[in-house]
Amino acid sequence: MASFNLDKVRSVQRERKRWEDTTLKKTISRLPESAGEDEYTTVSGMPVNRLYTPADIADLDYERDLGMPGEYPFTRGVHANMYRAKPWTMRLFAGFGTAEETNQRFKYLLDHGETGLSIAYDFPTLYGRDSDDPLAEGEVGTCGVAMSSLEDMEMLLEGLPLDKITTSMTINGPAPIVWAMYIAAAEKKGYPRHILGGTTQNDILKEYIAQNTYIYPPAPSLKMVVDTMEFGTKEMPRWNTISISGYHIREAGATALQELAFTLIDGLTYVEEGIKRGMDVDDFAPRLSFFFNCHNDFFEEIAKFRAARRIWARELKETYGAKNPRSWILRFHTQTAGCSLTAQQPEINIVRTAIQALAAVLGGTQSLHTNSMDEALALPSDKAVKIALRTQQILAHESGVINSVDPLGGSYMVEALTNDMERGFYDYKRKIDALGGMLSAINQGYPMKEISDASFRFQEEMDSKRRIMVGANEYVEDEPLTIPILAIDPKGYERQCQRLARLRLERDNEKTSASLEKLRSQALLGQENIMPHLIDCCNAYATLGEIAGVLRKVYGEHKDPSIV
């Protein structure tokens, strides 16, 4: 590994500073007034200079703040060779209709080069409701796959090589239940739980902040999250039991800085809860992962990812005393920004997605989902999904970006923005600590209010055209839609309800009732890890609604304080 003479580096910095103070300032003084810098900011409101120089990163210490890729504090990447060794995992988010339909989409994606699955569940599933629940009518299968029982999960996974792929599941309120279904289905197909690899989103704190697909109050919900951490640590060493998610925070209207701050503080809260349970931080921290949004402000997004790695590494090592270098590593999945897509001129969303995907790769993501051009209109069609996947493949095989690790490292602009992001994070952390921590801040509505204000400012900028969105508030065209839209089988809902009715008749209902009663009693006591009992219920073919219903009666349901 190359060594660095820091005295020489600083000498060069001083020389460049002297150069800036003479020649450079004369050059700047000749620029037209229209090139003024005060009017430009990132989406987060951080000022963007018209020119970056060594003076903007004069306090940057290479060894302390950057280091080499694969080494603490991981600003430049979590692996020494990064994509030269292996490209990122190409993981497209998919799920619609019934389990059979989504299974076919998964096989289509794997046949076209996808290397990991990412399951989207419909809203009844996200809220712990069966497909035939009266509250589910009209929502079954419309924005994800319907998942009401182990039978559905068995159909969803039919013919998939679970020992060769990893599976990510976007599920939160009922995450432990749906994960139990996955474990039970895999084991019935001959895949032991210890070989299964994947991720359960399971980030309940961000549900209270942004997405709102919670079921239970925060305290029992956090208890179940820690149960999954503990269970995964002991029984499923290849599974990431929480994917701490900034994506939905950003989609709710947060800035890049708010996404970074609230997500990392959520993650640190889970670390604290795990330690309170009695777990060693080095036993569970290596299996925590993150899920970020990648928006349109190219350099700000890259800086966000780099700052996130550095902050996490320092916090885990210096604040929480983690000794295993793997505990210091922030590994993350990225999805391009759904909220940046326009229903108008949907084909141009391909360009937006490509730019965002490039930023994610230059920022060092471990896996990537690229949105399809038609997602502002409907669930993506086969053609749109293929284009989204091909976008990643072109980046990996044709662009040359995989050939060098952190190629923008050392850029005056990128390093300055990375530092700005880190400072902004600690500003937010001090405010949230003063409120008593993230759980207390959520109960007081602080992060929700911050996001609401940011969203309002963004809309004001759109309305006044201080911020341009092509096709939406500028370069508008009045042309009919020409792209095909995915049609969901209208008979799917009927089949799903019939299947549930048949399941309840044919299963061993005595066994089902016994498993649900045991779950109820253990939930009331609150002393044991709940995961084994959930797996027992799934194996007895208790439905999602039945299992979640038992826990509703024990824990109650969370009510939004409606502070915002």
**Domain locations along the chain:** 82-464
List the CATH code of the domain at 82-464: 3.20.20.240
Q: The pTM is what?
A: 0.90
Tens of pLDDT, residues 218-233: 999 999 999 999 999 9
Query: What letter would DSSP give residue 491?
Result: T
Q: Tell me the pairing of strands 239-240 and 166-170.
A: unpaired
What pLDDT does residue 19 have? Answer: 52
Task: Cis check for the bond before 73: say yes or no (omega within 30 of 0).
Answer: yes
Decide if 42 contacts 48 (C-beta within 8 A).
yes
C-alpha distances in Å from residue 113, one per residue of 5, 261, 384, 386: 45, 34, 15, 10
* Tens digit of each residue's pLDDT, the chain (564 residues): 444 455 654 565 566 556 555 554 544 444 444 444 456 888 777 889 999 999 999 999 999 999 999 999 999 999 999 999 889 988 877 788 889 999 998 898 889 888 788 899 999 999 999 999 999 999 998 889 999 999 999 999 999 999 999 999 999 999 999 999 999 999 999 999 999 999 999 999 999 999 899 999 999 999 999 999 999 999 999 999 999 999 999 999 999 999 999 999 999 999 999 999 999 999 999 999 999 999 999 999 999 999 999 999 999 999 999 999 999 999 999 999 999 999 999 999 999 999 999 999 999 999 999 999 999 988 888 899 899 999 999 999 999 999 999 999 999 999 999 999 999 999 999 999 999 999 999 989 999 999 999 999 999 999 999 999 999 999 999 887 777 777 777 788 899 999 999 999 999 999 999 999 999 999 999 889 999 999 999 999 999 999 999 999 999 999 876 655
CA angle 119, 124, 130 (to 5 degrees): 105
**89-94 β-sheet, strand order:** 239-240, 198-200, 166-170, 116-120, 89-94, 367-369, 332-336, 288-294, 242-245
